[in-house]
Structure 1
Amino acid sequence: MDPPRLVTVFGATGAQGSGVLNTVLSSVDLKAKYRLRAVTRSPDSAKSLAYRKNGVEVVWGDLNDLESLKTAVKGSYGVFGMTDYWSIHSKDIEMQQGKKLFEAVKAEGVRHYVWSSLPWAEKLTGGKLTQLPYFDGKAIVEAHIEENKEDMIVSYFMPAMFFSFIENLIRGGQDNNPHLTLPISSTSALWPFIDPPRDGGKYIMGLFEAGSKSNGVRVNAVSCWTTPRELVATLSEEGGKNVSLKTISPETFAKDFPDNISGQLTETLIMAIEHGVYGRGEVKNQDDHDKWLVSGSDKKITLQEWVQQNGPWTFETRSFFDNLAAQKANSLAENGH
C-alpha cells in the first residue's frame, strides 16, 4: 500500500479549512490515504490543539511571508489554499497574498493545488457590480494561477454564500418581529448556500481524489439552493417567531448600513440572489458539480437542518455590521488608505 500523501490546508481553524480536516478525519478510507498539515496564524489556539490530538500536524504560516509559506507547504502532495479579504479589507493585499501562496506552492513542487476562488463579478455582470473586491480579487488570482501553473494539477473550489451569514441578515424590528429586507425585486430567485465546515471539504477532497481529471475544473460548492421566501418560512417555522420578507431598492437598502460597507453588502446580496453567485441559470448545472463530491460522503445539509442545528435564533444583528464597519476602517488605516 502506498504511504499516505501529505495534504496541507490553509485557513485550517476557519470555516473552509476546517471542512477539509473534518472530511478526512471522519473517513477511515481518507485517513488511510492522506496525512494532514494545518497552516494557521494561531497554532496554539484551542482548535489547533484539538487537531493535534487527532494526529494533524499544525504549523504557523504568514501569507505575507513567502519563505514561511514555502516551509509550510514543503513536502506536500496537495495544498488547499485560500485568503481572507475580511481580515485585511484590501483587494490588492489579498491578491498579493494569493499570488505569493501560489508562488510557494509552485516553488516546492506541489503536485495538486486547490484554490478557493469566486467568480469575477464585474465581468460576470457586465460591469453592473463593481464593489465586490472579495469576488474579483480571488478571480484575478485564479487567472494568474491558470496562466502559470505549467504541469501542476490545479482545481478551483467556488463556495456559495455561507449559511452562517443568514443570522446577520435577519433583524429584529421595533415591534420585536424579525424581518429579512433585501435589495432585490424577486422573492423567488434561487439563492445558493453552503455550510463549509460540513460540506466544503467533501468537494475539496473529491477534487484531490480525482487527481489529473480535476485539472482546471471549477466546482460550484453548494449545500442547497433556496429562495428568500423559503428562507423566511423555514426561519419562522424553526425560530419561534414570524419572520417577514420585504424587498426594497438597492439605494434604500444601502442607507441602513455604515457607509464603508453599505455598497459591498448591497452588491453581495444582489450577486448572490439575482445572479446566483455563479451566474444566472447555473442552478441547473448543480448535479454536474456534485459529481466531484468525494466518494462515500454523507448527504449535504439542508436549509431546515442547518436552521434547526444553529438555534436558538435571537435575530439581533446590528452589532455585527457596526463591528464589520469598524474593522474595515481600522484595516484601511493600518494599510495606509
Structure 2
Amino acid sequence: MLKLISVFDATGNQGGSVIKYILEDPLLSKEYKIRGLTSDTSKGPAQNLAQKGVEVVSADLNCVDSLTTALEGSHTIFLVTESLGVSNVELEFSQGKNVTIVARNLDVSYIIFSSLHVEDATEDNLRSFPHFDSKANIEKYIRGSGLKCTFILPGHFMSNFTQMLKKAEGGKYQLCCPVDGKKAKFPLFDATDTGTAFEALRCAR
C-alpha cells in the first residue's frame, strides 16, 4: 500500500519541486502517493498536477478543520510557510503551529519543514529578522511536538538575483549583495531544486 505524502506549496517553487522529484524518482514514486495542497484547486498549475496523478486538495493554513480534512491519512508532510512580513510574524507561526497540531492529532509519522533561522546560528549576533524568526519559531515548535522531523534550510533564492542588480550612472550595473563577500560565504539556492535535497524522505520509509 502506498504511503501518502501531503505537500504544501504544491503549485509553488518548493512544493512543486518536491512533487516533481518524487514523481520522477523510480523508487519514491512507487512508494508514495502524492497529495498536493493549495489554496485554489481550480487554477491551471493545480489542474496540471492533477493530470499527472497528484491528488489536489484545498487547504487553509489558518483553519484547523480545513487542515484536518486536507491531511487526513497522511504518512508524511512537507511543509513550507509563506513569509508574511514584519507585521505578520505571529500569523505565520500560528499557521505552522496549526499544521503541527493537526499532524500530531492525526498521528502523522513524519514532517519535513522548509525552515530558516539566524539568531541561534550566529549566537545572537544577528537579531530581528522576521522572515527568519517566524520559521525558526515554527521549527522549535515542531521539534517540541514529539513528531519525527527533518528540516531543510535553503539559502538565498537565485530567483532574487535580478533584484540585486542596480543600474548605476553611465549605464553600468552594480550587484548589490546583502552580505560582504570578503567576510562571509553567501549560500545561493534555486527554489526549484528543493526536490533534489529531498533525500530526507528516504529516512521516513
Same fold per superposition (TM over 0.5)? yes
Q: Which residue of 1 aligns with 2:197?
A: 203
1:123 matches 2:120: yes
Distance 2:200 2:180 in 1: 36
Please give the residue correspondences for 1:173-212 in structure 2 after superposition, counting only pairs within 5 Å: 173-182=168-177, 184-187=179-182, 189-197=184-192, 199-204=193-198, 206-211=199-204
Q: Secondary structure at the match of 1:148?
A: coil
Structure 1 letter corresponding to 2:74 = S
Distance 1:191 1:99 in 2: 30
Q: Secondary structure at the match of 1:63?
A: coil
Structure 2 letter corresponding to 1:208 = L
Q: Which residue of 2 aligns with 1:13?
A: 11
The answer to whether the 8 Å contact 2:4/2:35 transfers is yes
Match for 1:24 among 9, 22, 25?
Answer: 22
Please give the residue correspondences for 1:119-198 in structure 2 after superposition, counting only pairs within 5 Å: 119=117, 121-149=118-146, 152-182=147-177, 184-187=179-182, 189-197=184-192
Q: Provide TM-score, normalisation by structure 1.
A: 0.57
The answer to whether the 8 Å contact 1:160/1:193 transfers is yes
The answer to whether the 8 Å contact 2:86/2:131 transfers is no
The answer to whether the 8 Å contact 2:84/2:92 transfers is no
Query: Could you list the runs of 5+ residues in structure 1 that have no partner in the other structure?
Result: 213-337
Structure 1 letter corresponding to 2:129 = L
The answer to whether the 8 Å contact 1:88/1:94 transfers is no
Instruction: Identify which of structures 1 and 2 has the higher relative contact order when contacts are C-alpha pairs closer than 8 Å and 6+ apart.
Output: 2
Offset of 1:24 from its aligned partner? 1.1
Alignment deviations for residues 51-92 of structure 1 (CA, whole Å, 9 cap, x no partner): 000000001011100010111110011111121014785111
Distance 1:73 1:165 in 2: 32
Offset of 1:128 from its aligned partner? 3.6
Alignment deviations for residues 26-45 of structure 1 (CA, whole Å, 9 cap, x no partner): 22322111110000012111
Please give the residue correspondences for 1:79-94 in structure 2 after superposition, counting only pairs within 5 Å: 79-86=77-84, 90-94=88-92
Alignment deviations for residues 81-119 of structure 1 (CA, whole Å, 9 cap, x no partner): 121014785111111111011011111111111111112
Residues 49 and 209 (structure 1), Cα distance of their counterparts in 2 relative to 1, 3 Å cut: same
Q: Secondary structure at the match of 1:171?
A: strand
Offset of 1:203 from its aligned partner? 2.1
Structure having the higher helix fraction is 1
RMSD: 1.9
Q: Secondary structure at the match of 1:90?
A: helix
Please give the residue correspondences for 1:48-87 in structure 2 after superposition, counting only pairs within 5 Å: 48-86=46-84
Please give the residue correspondences for 1:293-304 in structure 2 after superposition, counting only pairs within 5 Å: none
Offset of 1:142 from its aligned partner? 1.2
Distance 1:122 1:112 in 2: 26
Q: Percent identity?
A: 28
Residues 185 and 23 (structure 1), Cα distance of their counterparts in 2 relative to 1, 3 Å cut: closer
Alignment deviations for residues 274-330 of structure 1 (CA, whole Å, 9 cap, x no partner): xxxxxxxxxxxxxxxxxxxxxxxxxxxxxxxxxxxxxxxxxxxxxxxxxxxxxxxxx
Offset of 1:129 from its aligned partner? 2.6
Distance 2:86 2:41 in 1: 20
Structure 2 letter corresponding to 1:201 = G
